[in-house]
Amino acid sequence: MTLVQLLLGEQPLLVWVVLGIAGFGVTWKGANVVESTSQTISDHYGVSQAIQGSLIVAVATSFPELAIIVISVLLLGEFGVGAGALIGTAIFNILVIPGAVALTSGSTATTRGIVYRDALFYVIAILGFFAVIALGILSTDGPEVATVTPGMGIGLLILYVVYVVLIAEGRADGGGTEQEKADAISKQAALFVGGLGVILIGVESMISMTVELAAALAAPPFLISVTVLSILSSFPDLLVGVKMGQGGDRKAAMANVFGTNTFNLVGALPIGILLAGGVSISFLTSVPLLLFLFYSTLVVVVVAATDFELTRREGILLIGIYLVFLLWMVSEATGYSAYLTERTLQSYLWYCQSWSSAYDYWLWT
Q: What pLDDT does 171 receive?
A: 44
Q: How do residues 11-33 score in pLDDT, each as one tens digit?
A: 888 998 999 999 889 888 888 88
Share of the chain above pLDDT 90, in %: 14
Least-confidence region, from 231-245, 310-324, 347-361: 347-361
Q: Where are the alpha helices (DSSP H) in 45-140?
A: 49-51, 57-61, 63-71, 79-105, 112-113, 120-138
**What is 261-284 written as a DSSP string?**
HHHIIIIIHHHHHHHHTSEEEEHH
Q: How confident is the model at residue 94 (pLDDT cuts 50, 70, 90)?
A: very high
Dist CA 8 CA 14 (whole Å): 13
**Cβ 2 vs Cβ 204: under 8 Å:** yes
Q: What is the model's pTM?
A: 0.83
Q: How do residues 67-82 score in pLDDT, each as one tens digit?
A: 888 888 888 877 888 8
Q: How confident is the model at residue 95 (pLDDT cuts 50, 70, 90)?
A: very high
For the segment 264-289, the average pLDDT, to the nearest whole number, is 85
Q: How do residues 99-143 score in pLDDT, each as one tens digit?
A: 998 888 877 777 777 777 888 889 999 999 888 888 887 766 555
Which among 306, 268, 215 is positioned nearest to 89, based on CA atoms?
Answer: 268
Dist CA 62 CA 230 (whole Å): 11
Domains of the chain and CATH, by start: 9-358 (1.20.1420.30)
For the segment 297-311, the average pLDDT, to the nearest whole number, is 86
Dist CA 110 CA 85 (whole Å): 28
State how far the alpha carbon of 325 is from the alpha carbons of 149, 300, 305, 309, 329, in Å. Answer: 30, 15, 23, 24, 6
Q: What pLDDT does 8 receive?
A: 84
For the segment 79-99, the average pLDDT, to the nearest whole number, is 89
Q: How confident is the model at residue 175 (pLDDT cuts 50, 70, 90)?
A: very low
For the segment 241-254, the average pLDDT, to the nearest whole number, is 78
Dist CA 39 CA 41 (whole Å): 5
- Residue 313: other Cβ atoms inside 10 A: 11
Residue 318 has pLDDT above 90, yes or no: yes
